[in-house]
A and B are shown apart, each in its own frame.
Chain A
């Protein structure tokens, strides 16, 4: 039997397109793939659909430098050709950043996503006092940020009440926060956290926890969040609890970027 041909596509989602919901991004790509005439594999039956999977959905309003989609193909001439063909028919706000050939045993994008990086910025006038420079609410104060982050990370538990359709659930965010620091270059908060389907953490949950810790409430629509990267884990080596985190494209045997 011929080996199934799966590719992983890394793409950006920026500008106005941040308002396109996850399901519509999927629909967008279905049409994009047909415009690009990519030899994608379809399911059978009366309403065949393209065989594709997306990694963790991005909330409406967030930008991303690294979204991932896996595609099953019937044939492939070159990865570059896929990237070029998709970019030629895509809107400027969605760019194909990388394409890789997935190894045979790789889990699909949705199942194998483990963590994500985010840059967290604030809308003008909505910086919480515990992070803000001076008495204004427009810029971050690096020292305050570092101090508050350290205080948060020093806690053994960070309980967070998640409001669900049916009642509430209390989560502990602490184990899912893998890295959290002030990024001087970007003048933003950098957060690496769990993005697996079981333990996904949203940046807003962490920022709300900070505000709660400092006796504040995070203003509505305060955050400007950009997803920077998504990771999967290598199989755990002996003696390791978890495998090493690598960017989702890194699992590919070959990729463009």
Chain B
């Protein structure tokens, strides 16, 4: 059998499981290197199923970066789906990387990107199937260095025991130094702990096992100290200064199977100027940095050519805030229409410009428009600093209806700090006003299906570290459910209620997400216990077992409410305080107080509010303001 034909799983298994395509690699643009010429093997893992993991841009960027290093071969790993998971356990088949199909445990590094809290048990699944000891303290040089990255590592403490290292911040900057240190330490026969100790002194790298935490009698943190004097007390996030001058995958891997993101993804900028107080990404990725429009045009064409995708999507936290959006879209509209390529435009503010663009790329009769007011009343939108007024929403909706759209999606969160029943009822009011706008704007004879369709979706608010709401209490499950009920009643009482559909999320998962988001090291044993009870794929509602999680908390003697429902005092030491994300704690606290007073804060394009991110010396902090 030819070497390239080798598959880790025998035919009998591949034929008996769902979607074997997830496990065979061999995709277009997958990188295969000659093992004899490689010094470092890096397994890059997204701990969820292939179709989700393959849709993640960050991994594609790092995959491209690592494989541009001549001495390194980076391969991909995803969570086996539940059917294969069971087979691998029964037959003791070690988890393998897709490109070489060889066991993960033979690699030098296992990098895990951690995008959401509900994947924590899948991290344990990946380690377990890889036959790597679950906890860092039990590992030897026989297994890879396990390093975590991604947004959840801004509070890595609930999963600290499972990782040897965390990389805090954007991956493009320090990995080369880390790999060089690794090679040096291995060549010198350094101990594993010795390597971790040195790695923990690199910028942005956190070695959790080399820090000690003590707690006060009330359960809050008393102290957090490095074990060795040379190790940093604060770990500052890493960022890329100039986005035009870094890695970007010109030849992303093209999956066979249809993935969530089955398109070219063009990251136009990082960061967001808006400063919504509930939004963690808005703080973590500060300061806003844009790619030049010339670079983006070139990237777009090259990536379309190299992948053959029939769609391109712009990626950023708020694409409408990209300075050169009209120029970029004009270019893409022209080039893409020649090639029968669709343009997908998520996260656009609804205004005359975006409606014009959307009407050119979408069938207005078939698509819906999305607004994310996040809160039902102006009062509460001021609390959360969501700079979107009812006027703007209604005029945007009216223009859309006049343009032929008949479907509108509205996204809200329930459970913002200080939310009242009036705020919640305001959701129904707003939806009703939008419907009224339709009947007013569109004369009867022009109504395509006779009526407008408004879909209101609410999720439950989970306070996150490094936001103004990191001090805020989270609602209990009962409060969440009551709020959803109030919201539903509010919608049902509207004149146009027949045009409004209401969806709400599960409350159980939001409670657990809240515990894990602001948790500390004492949660490691709870997560492990839950995993041992069979929890994994918690992000998939059909596999979420709330009862098993609650049992795990009880058995470990950990009270989940400690992490959620209490309001934290201004001076409490948080588990994530040792991380410096650029935005200062002082600024966030001021924002928390502003929120309580309903005072709005200007966005970065209007005025600098002195959040602290200017200390990176790049991006919007140094741009001239209009």
Residues of A within 8 A of B16 (CB): 221
Q: Does B449 interact with chain A (Cβ within 8 Å)?
A: no
14 contacts between A and B (CB under 8 A): A15-B2, A16-B5, A19-B14, A20-B21, A21-B21, A24-B21, A30-B310, A31-B28, A31-B310, A32-B308, A34-B304, A47-B342, A92-B4, A221-B16
Closest to A220 in B: B12
Q: Does A234 interact with chain B (Cβ within 8 Å)?
A: no
Mark interface residues in A67-106 (1 if CB within 8 Å of B CB, else 0). 0000000000000000000000111110000000000000
Least CB distance, A178 to chain B, in whole angstroms: 27
B254:A31 contact, CB within 8 angstroms: yes
Return the 7 tightest CB-CB contacts between A and B, nearest first: A31-B308, A34-B308, A46-B363, A35-B308, A19-B20, A15-B5, A16-B24
Q: How far is the CA of A217 from the CA of B307 in the complex (A)?
A: 45
Least CB distance, B217 to chain A, in whole angstroms: 58
Q: How far is the CA of A35 from the CA of B29 in the complex (A)?
A: 12
B15:A60 contact, CB within 8 angstroms: yes
Interface residues of A in 5-49 (CB under 8 A from B): 15-17, 19-21, 24-25, 27-28, 30-35, 37, 42, 46-48
Least CB distance, A215 to chain B, in whole angstroms: 24
A31:B2 contact, CB within 8 angstroms: no
Least CB distance, A31 to chain B, in whole angstroms: 3
Q: Does A123 interact with chain B (Cβ within 8 Å)?
A: yes
Q: Does B334 interact with chain A (Cβ within 8 Å)?
A: no
A42:B308 contact, CB within 8 angstroms: no
Q: Does A61 interact with chain B (Cβ within 8 Å)?
A: yes
Residues of A within 8 A of B24 (CB): 16-17, 19
Closest to B19 in A: A21
A35-B307, A221-B11 given; 12 more Cβ-contact pairs under 8 Å: A15-B26, A17-B26, A19-B14, A20-B21, A27-B256, A31-B309, A31-B310, A33-B308, A46-B366, A60-B15, A91-B28, A93-B26
Q: How far is the CA of A25 from the CA of B21 in the complex (A)?
A: 11
A34:B363 contact, CB within 8 angstroms: no
Q: Does B340 interact with chain A (Cβ within 8 Å)?
A: yes
A48:B340 contact, CB within 8 angstroms: yes
Tally chain A residues at the interface, Cβ within 8 Å.
Answer: 31
Q: How far is the CA of A20 from the CA of B25 in the complex (A)?
A: 11
Which residue, A37, A89, A91, A93, has most C-beta atoms of chain B within 10 A? A91
Closest to B12 in A: A221
Least CB distance, A154 to chain B, in whole angstroms: 32
Residues of B within 8 A of A15 (CB): 2, 4-5, 26
Mark interface residues in A190-229 (1 if CB within 8 Å of B CB, else 0). 0000000000000000000000000000001100000000
Least CB distance, A137 to chain B, in whole angstroms: 15
Q: How far is the CA of A21 from the CA of B258 in the complex (A)?
A: 11
Closest to A36 in B: B308
Residues of A within 8 A of B258 (CB): 24, 27
B11:A123 contact, CB within 8 angstroms: yes
Residues of A within 8 A of B308 (CB): 30-35, 89
Mark interface residues in B336-368 (1 if CB within 8 Å of A CB, else 0). 000110100000000000000000001100100
Residues of B within 8 A of A220 (CB): 12
Least CB distance, A32 to chain B, in whole angstroms: 6
Least CB distance, B476 to chain A, in whole angstroms: 45
Mark interface residues in B23-56 (1 if CB within 8 Å of A CB, else 0). 0111110000000000000000000000000000
Residues of A within 8 A of B492 (CB): none
Q: How far is the CA of A201 from the CA of B4 in the complex (A)?
A: 32
Least CB distance, A146 to chain B, in whole angstroms: 27
Q: How far is the CA of A211 from the CA of B391 in the complex (A)?
A: 75
Least CB distance, A49 to chain B, in whole angstroms: 8
Residues of B within 8 A of A42 (CB): 340
Residues of A within 8 A of B173 (CB): none
A24:B257 contact, CB within 8 angstroms: yes
Residues of A within 8 A of B25 (CB): 16
Interface residues of B in 216-268 (CB under 8 A from A): 254, 256-258
Least CB distance, B90 to chain A, in whole angstroms: 16
- Which one of B12, B307, B362 contacts A46 once the chains associate, using CB atoms below 8 Å? B362
- Which one of B256, B310, B362 contacts A24 once the chains associate, using CB atoms below 8 Å? B256
